[in-house]
Amino acid sequence: MDVLVPLLQLLVLLLTLPLHLMALLGCWQPLCKTYFPYLMAVLTSKSNRKMEGKKRELFSQIKGLTGASGKVDLLELGCGTGANFQFYPPGCRVTCLDPNPHFEKFLTKSMAENRHLQYERFVVAPGEDMRQLADGSMDVVVCTLVLCSVQSPRKVLQEVKRVLRPGGVLFFWEHVTEPHGSWAFMWQQVLEPTWKHIGDGCCLTRETWKDLENAQFSEVQMERQPPPFKWLPVGPHIMGKAVKLFPSPKALICSFPSLQLERVTHQPTYLPLRGT
């Protein structure tokens, strides 16, 4: 099987040679940035219909995470077209971040359709560099189908932890690699060099659960799910949440003196996904 991969990659490269030549000449990326929001608008609409129940279950937990203002300060990382807005509870103050400025008109439309939310701003920046957002300024970060296409998932998760307040929560839904040694994994390896161009940097073979394990969240709840579209090369999905650790028991007592504390460990725990 390992011998087949480079041969089949070469065949796919030859079949899609114009695309690769355009990428080499620097012509493809601007074109991709322009058309990709339209592609995502179609795919996310279909995906929401398939995943509505699971998304409502996951995002219903946001309403219990209000900050001192009585509202939830929420950052959507790689916000795309705003397809998740319909699942957020009322009272969220939503900040959107995406490196592609062409998504803004889709966000404006989504916000007009979801008046139960308060739209703060759209930040054009990569997830690895969110310097425009202050430390500890967010109660919630949402990240869906984003870590597959960033340059460094590790750096993105570091930034997520920085902007989350202590006790804040990252909600995620990401596609991951097929099991190694399977035929499905072989085809992901074959298609990945071409798929990265089509999918605006999307990698098919990332083991994103390992990045979440190594990010030093205090707790991780995760479910593994089959892919919503069998005709795409993306593999199974992981959906869940990760909680940012309070800085220390002493700091927690100062902020919430009435709480009874237990020892907190940096080791993530993997539990069935459910409300808190």
Residue range 239-252, pLDDT digits in tens:
999 999 876 554 44
Span 193-241, pLDDT tens digits: 999 999 999 999 999 999 999 999 999 999 999 988 888 999 999 999 9
pLDDT of residue 28: 92
The whole-model pTM stands at: 0.86
**pLDDT above 80: residue 254:** no
Q: What are phi and psi of 177, to 5 degrees?
A: -65, 155
The span from the CA of 276 to the CA of 202, in Å, is 32
**Helices H / strands E in the chain, number of each:** 8, 7
Name the DSSP class of 245.
P
Query: Is the predicted pLDDT of residue 140 greater than 80, yes or no?
Result: yes
36 has a pLDDT exceeding 70: yes
Cα angle, residue 63 at apex, residues 146 and 116 outer, rounded to 5°: 80
- Of the listed ranges 3-7, 122-126, 177-181, 269-273, the least confidently predicted one is 269-273
Q: How confident is the model at residue 261 (pLDDT cuts 50, 70, 90)?
A: very low
Q: What CA–CA distance (Å, rounded) separates 151 from 235?
A: 19
pLDDT at 229: 86
Q: What is the mean pLDDT of residues 14-20?
A: 95
Confidence of residue 265 (pLDDT cuts 50, 70, 90): very low
Q: Average pLDDT in the 16-37 region?
A: 93
Distance CA 163, CA 130 (A): 8
Please say whether the beta carbons of 141 and 172 come within 8 A: no
Query: 3-class SS at 94?
Result: strand
Look at residue 273 in the predicted model and tell me its pLDDT.
52
Helix axes 183-198, 4-15, angle to 10 degrees: 30
Looking at per-residue pLDDT, the higher value among 260 and 163 belongs to: 163
Give the pLDDT band (50/70/90) at residue 257.
very low
Mean residue pLDDT across the chain: 88
The tens digit of pLDDT for each residue in 102-130 reads 999 999 999 999 999 999 999 999 999 99
Query: Looking at per-residue confidence, does 256 or 93 come out higher?
Result: 93
Q: In order of start, what are the domains of the chain with their CATH numbers?
A: 3-61+72-81+90-125+136-243 (3.40.50.150)
pLDDT of residue 267: 47
pLDDT of residue 248: 57
